[in-house]
Structure 1
């Protein structure tokens, strides 16, 4: 049976829960991201968004440079505690990628413990995401304590459980899910395909793993297996799906606010980004996945609505001055 745990209230005595992960009272935690020259400005914004919250001061920042030029590397080096040059941890992935070094981060994120050993918790955040509310980091840490792995579902329209219609035969729709598509490309066995067909994909643009979690070698082995036949793009998410649904490793499912992929609203009172759906919970980590134009142009803004339905024009990228003014936990507030 798949050990998927939904978010729940913490136990009054965590030691009574045999499924919890033993961690120090003050675990060593690092937030890790990866970037090349193109993503370096976004990585800088992610770093700044973490450092803007006093409650996250004890967390180290680590950067994997994936084909970054020396000048950009040296500009970012003082902003983080750790910096390492990325490599193709899976040789076959590098061979298949060719000159597409931007795919390197999709492999590196599954090997962060190898790059920066010694931490109790590793939190990966894609460079095109930033921390709006530090309680999202608290949630990820609690998820790791409960299951060793904390990650949310991929709620983008292209990755939902909805079937992708492939053909119509005799009035019947023949379709495949996101996980089924990638499992077939990797030529997994019919039994594995059956078990993965209806699995919801995870979005590992944001995820956290305990340093001693048993998931690491399993996820890495799954990734190696997937890239032998399938594609690098999507394989990093499928490697985690397989660890949970085929290998039976536990996972704590994080709420959408911890990796918000939708169009947010703006709180009419505070100006903070909030979820589009009522009751408009605060967005914890805002992820600009698929927003190519905004990722490229920091001046680009878009039409949003506030929580009272009024139009607001804002960029979804990190803005230090607005966060410092509106977030009482931010430095300089």
Structure 2
């Protein structure tokens, strides 16, 4: 079911009291702690007069939470009333198979966890920021009333260079959209690339929030997939239409194309003109095993030695 709302003109923002302009919101549990620390370290250059770094704790250990607290402006525990709950028969299965599911299904409530901000940017914990300019660009779009997100599309990504890979990608996407929204919506949206939810932005009064919550609740009544919240917000953005798409360098999918390091030390796109990457998204499974040997973690992963005693088994995908 796709819910619809009547859109209204953007409200004037300057007269409203906000703690700061933008909340950068991250959700994390103990399994992604090592990458979370890298992300938080990479966010230290942010202007804290404009940004607050906010963390939703969906299962960190007490020691892990204590370690990251100095790197965050706010930490809030996940709340059962601020999560979309799937059908009760699915919950026990999710607890076993996807223990971080609450990190996915609390996303419609970011503004409720951390009220008092004009703009909200979401970052997956397996991202790290090489250049904060992408966050500034996102805030500029969000401030103007637009949703901001990055499509999973670039000349370096393999499905754009192979008919077989592209056909498979479209078929898989259409199948998942059909599962949650039916064949009619899948026929319209299945051929478009995913908008990746690792990095997106919404204004506090955007119509997307309620649509996202209600549509995600409808979609997960009887079924679940680890991409369900991405599919749902994609469909909401297609419906509302007021979306600013940023280039792939604003959320680079490292599992689709491994970056190259320039002579200046910056990670760059592997194809001409080798544009520097703003946000490196360490997508896929076995993230540390895959990316640490390549030096792709924040600061080459040198920070890991200091937190090895706090690490826990990491099983996140995405």
- Greater gyration radius: 1
How far the C-alpha of 1:35 sits from its partner, in A, is 1.1
Aligned to 2:307: none
Q: For residue 76 of structure 2, give the secondary structure of its aligned residue in structure 1.
A: strand
Aligned to 1:248: 240
Aligned length: 277
Q: For residue 182 of structure 1, give the secondary structure of its aligned residue in structure 2.
A: helix
Checking the alignment, whether the CA contact within 8 Å between 2:87 and 2:222 is kept in structure 1 is: no
> Which string of whole-angstrom CA distances, capped at 9 and with x for unpartnered residues, describes residues 285-333 of structure 1?
1010115242x688x322xxxxxxxxxxxx11101899xxxxxxxxxxx
RMSD between superposed Cα atoms in Å: 3.0
Verify: 1:277 aligned to 2:271, yes or no.
yes
How far the C-alpha of 1:70 sits from its partner, in A, is 2.3
Q: For residue 137 of structure 1, give the secondary structure of its aligned residue in structure 2.
A: helix
The higher relative CO (CA closer than 8 Å, separation ≥ 6) is in: 2
How far the C-alpha of 1:263 sits from its partner, in A, is 1.2
User: Does the C-alpha gap of structure 1 residues 285 and 19 become closer, same or farther in structure 2, counting only changes over 3 Å?
Assistant: farther
> Which string of whole-angstrom CA distances, capped at 9 and with x for unpartnered residues, describes residues 137-170 of structure 1?
11111221344210011246589992228xxxxx
Aligned to 2:23: 30
Q: What is the alpha-carbon distance in structure 1 between the residues aligned to residue 225 and residue 84 of structure 2?
A: 11
Aligned to 2:281: 287
Q: For residue 64 of structure 1, give the secondary structure of its aligned residue in structure 2.
A: strand
Alignment partner of 2:141 out of 136, 139, 143: 143
Q: For residue 213 of structure 2, give the secondary structure of its aligned residue in structure 1.
A: helix
Aligned to 1:75: 67
Calculate the TM-score normalised by the size of structure 2.
Answer: 0.77
How far the C-alpha of 1:97 sits from its partner, in A, is 4.0
Within a 5 Å distance, the mapping from 1:19-58 to structure 2 comes to 22-24=12-14, 28-51=21-44, 53=45, 55=47, 58=50
How far the C-alpha of 1:54 sits from its partner, in A, is 5.2
Q: What is the alpha-carbon distance in structure 1 between the residues aligned to residue 37 and residue 212 of structure 2?
A: 28
Unpaired segments of 5 or more residues in structure 2? 1-7, 303-318
Q: For residue 68 of structure 1, give the secondary structure of its aligned residue in structure 2.
A: coil
Unpaired segments of 5 or more residues in structure 1? 1-17, 166-174, 303-314, 323-333
How far the C-alpha of 1:194 sits from its partner, in A, is 2.4
User: Does the C-alpha gap of structure 1 residues 139 and 274 become closer, same or farther in structure 2, counting only changes over 3 Å?
Assistant: same
Alignment partner of 2:107 out of 93, 109, 112: 109
Aligned to 1:305: none
Checking the alignment, whether the CA contact within 8 Å between 1:65 and 1:83 is kept in structure 2 is: yes
Q: What is the alpha-carbon distance in structure 2 between the residues aligned to residue 177 and residue 297 of structure 1?
A: 24
Q: For residue 276 of structure 1, give the secondary structure of its aligned residue in structure 2.
A: coil
Aligned to 1:206: 199
Q: For residue 204 of structure 1, give the secondary structure of its aligned residue in structure 2.
A: strand
Checking the alignment, whether the CA contact within 8 Å between 1:215 and 1:249 is kept in structure 2 is: no
How far the C-alpha of 1:177 sits from its partner, in A, is 4.2
Q: What is the alpha-carbon distance in structure 1 between the residues aligned to residue 55 and residue 175 of structure 2?
A: 32
Question: Normalized per residue, which structure has more helix?
Answer: 2
> Which string of whole-angstrom CA distances, capped at 9 and with x for unpartnered residues, describes residues 55-94 of structure 1?
4663111111112222322222232111111245112267
Q: What is the alpha-carbon distance in structure 1 between the residues aligned to residue 91 and residue 9 of structure 2?
A: 39
User: Does the C-alpha gap of structure 1 residues 162 and 93 become closer, same or farther in structure 2, counting only changes over 3 Å?
Assistant: farther
Aligned to 2:4: none
